[in-house]
Amino acid sequence: MDRSLTSAPLAALEDPFHAMVARSRAEPAPGLAERLDRLARLRVVVADNEERFRQAISADFGHRSAVETTIAETLLVFSEIRHATKHLKTWMAPQRVATALQFLPARNRLIPQPLGVVGIIAPWNYPLQLTLAPAIGAIAAGNRVIIKPSELVPHFSALLKEAVAQKFDATELLVTGIEDEIAKAFATPPFDHLVFTGSARVGRLVAEAAGRNLTPLTLELGGKSPAIIDVSADLEEAAERVAYGKLLNAGQTCIAPDYVLAPENFVQAFAEKVRAQMRRMFGTDPANKDYTAIISDRHYARLEGLVADAASRGAKILQPAKPDDPNWKAHRKFPPTLVVGATEGMAVMQEEIFGPVLPVLGYRDPTDAIAFVNRRDRPLALYWFGKDRTARDEVLSRTVSGGVTVNDCLFHFTQINQPMGGVGASGTGAYHGEWGFRTFSKLKPVFYRSKFNRLADLYPPYGGKIARLEKMIRFMS
């Protein structure tokens, strides 16, 4: 494969990329000790700079809740590293695979090997966790990694680049700049695997660029993830959990509930309960340090447009007691907002919201709710609330989504023994724990022939022996 970087914007990366490729080919299978050392150094990068990362991310957002950065980013990264370190020896071991009777006493093994050089195009919404989680899987699998952070978090990106360079050789782990030219061209080199986390629109462009080199992809996208409230649900409990899932990181979460489907006669009551829970959690003061700001003025204006469009089309807008307080905008904090009576024609139901705006729609019976979900692209997440197991299982069996949490939101993502990934328009591929190790490995099948095999009977010249062998194989099949 031609690995030259012909794109001018990536000229500065040409030497580091080729050096990394050369090392990955010269040392294709780093041992357990070397991989554990890289994971340990990555943990030091995060541990030694934990407070600096927290401050940098907050500076990029305008304000980012320190608690949210800790629980949704730092601790998850530590958990990923600890899990990989504990299980890596087992993951690396060749796996026994059954051998068909006619080939005994031979044996089969499945041997995991590093792919080589993995590229990661990271998002801005959880810049530490969503950058390093796939890197952990790639490093555990023995790969070398190049990371392109998001241009929307320049303080964090500069710090990550500096911190990584202090602990890693540039042929092991490299963080690039965030210039627009690099962002537009990063998917063009012939990586051995490429990870992109972001919007479906940009994901299509990444897939198109990567496709020119047949680069394997993991796409973590998003979409409109529904929360279905069953008639058997505890409305107070569901309201609290939906409010938390929606307002974590001010809704700037790819698996946040994007809209709610509730029984028609529950819609208004449920929306009021969610608003009450939002007030209880974050109050009505825009300066609340627990409430995260919107990443940019452009994103803020987009949310304003979504709400204005819904209101102009007849939706009822529920917000905190002082939604007109100019300090909301001054702090770039968008007030928690419910859109009651949203319809499919509203802009808020046409695109992923990615902010603290929650449409609440009614349905007549559970089959209508399932049909509503299935008319749309496959969501990255789905949430179901209720006590009726039959109704729950009906939704689980008749809908397809990247992941599901029952009677809560978000927490399927934190299950390190489960894969995290989308389906259809919400993404392809998965990582987390062993799933990440496998994504970034080539599971190479190896057949070890025994000297006692009669496989030579398959060789010409053919004669009566082939008929006997055919009869035996048919009998065993």
* Helix, strand, coil fractions of the chain, as percent rounded to 5: 50, 15, 35
Say if residue 217 is in the same domain as residue 258.
Answer: no
**Coil, strand or helix: which one is 217?**
strand
Q: Is 409 a catalytic residue?
A: no
User: Both tokens of residue 271?
Assistant: 């929306």
Question: 110-126: per-residue pLDDT in tens?
Answer: 999 999 999 999 999 99
The whole-number pLDDT of residue 1 equals: 44
Residue 181: predicted pLDDT: 73
Across 255-270, average pLDDT: 97
452 part of a folded domain: no
Q: Which CATH number characterizes residue 91's domain?
A: 3.40.605.10
Task: Examine the domain organization and report whether 391 and 432 are in the same domain.
Answer: no
Domain presence at residue 100? yes
Q: Which two tokens stand for residue 229?
A: 């409230």
Of 68, 254, 352, 409, which one is the catalytic site residue? 254
pLDDT value of residue 136: 98
pLDDT in tens, 309-324: 999 999 999 998 888 8
For range 193-199, the mean pLDDT: 95
Strand ranges, E, within 290-388 = 316-318, 337-340, 357-363, 381-385
84: containing domain: 8-221+427-442
- Is there a domain that residue 232 lies in? yes
In this structure, which amino acid lies at residue 346?
A: M
* Domain shared by 71 and 155, yes or no: yes
Please tell me the predicted confidence (pLDDT) of residue 2: 47
Tally of CB atoms within 10 A around 226: 23
Specify whether 141 is located in the same domain as 230.
no
In contact, 148 and 182? CB cutoff 8 Å: yes
The CATH number covering residue 296 comes to 3.40.309.10
Residues 366-395, mean pLDDT to the nearest whole number: 97
* Domain identity same for 276 and 129: no
Cβ-count burial of 218 within 10 angstroms (0-12 exposed, 13-18 middle, 19+ buried)? buried
Residue 315 lies in a domain: yes
Q: Into how many domains does the chain fold?
A: 2
C-beta separation of 342 from 314 below 8 A: no
Q: Where are the alpha helices (DSSP H) in 411-463?
A: 433-439
Tokens (6 digits) for 403: 């992941």
d(CA 392, CA 386): 7
The C-alpha atoms of residue 226 and residue 336 are separated, in whole angstroms, by 18
The reply to whether 455 falls in a domain is no
DSSP 166: H
Cβ atoms of residues 385 and 241 within 8 Å: yes
Q: What are the Cα distances from residue 166, in Å, to 83, 169, 460?
A: 24, 8, 62
Within-domain flag for 20: yes
Whole-structure pTM value:
0.93
- Domain shared by 54 and 162, yes or no: yes
pLDDT in tens, 321-356: 888 899 999 999 999 999 999 999 999 999 999 999
What pLDDT is attached to residue 456?
Answer: 66
* Residue tagged active-site, from 68, 73, 220, 434: 220
Confirm if 101 and 475 have CB atoms less than 8 A apart. no
Whether 167 and 297 map to the same domain: the answer is no
- Residue linked to tokens 């060749």: 94
> Would residue 453 count as lying in a domain?
no
Same domain, 394 and 434: no
Alpha-carbon torsion (452, 456, 458, 464), positive or negative: negative
pLDDT tens digits along 413-460 = 999 999 999 999 999 999 999 999 999 999 999 999 888 876 766 777
If asked whether residues 31 and 175 sit together in one domain, one would say: yes
What pLDDT is attached to residue 103?
80
Q: Is the pLDDT of residue 188 over 60?
A: yes
The length of the chain in residues reads 477
Q: Based on the fold, state whether residues 319 and 200 are members of the same structural domain.
A: no
pLDDT in tens, 208-250: 999 999 999 999 999 999 999 999 999 999 999 999 999 999 9
Whether residues 141 and 208 share a domain: the answer is yes
Is residue 37, in this structure, part of any structural domain at all?
yes
Q: Provide mean pLDDT across the span 386-397.
A: 98
Task: Let me know if 367 is exposed, middle or buried by CB neighbors in 10 A (0-12, 13-18, 19+).
Answer: exposed
Mean pLDDT of the chain: 93
User: What DSSP string runs through 102-127?
Assistant: GGTT-EEEEEEEE-SEEEEE--SSST
- Note whether 170 and 270 are same-domain residues: no
User: At residue 310, what are phi and psi to the nearest 5 degrees?
Assistant: -65, -45
pLDDT-derived band at 468, boundaries 50, 70, 90: confident
Helices 32-48 and 154-167: crossing angle in degrees, nearest 10, is 140
pLDDT of residue 463: 72
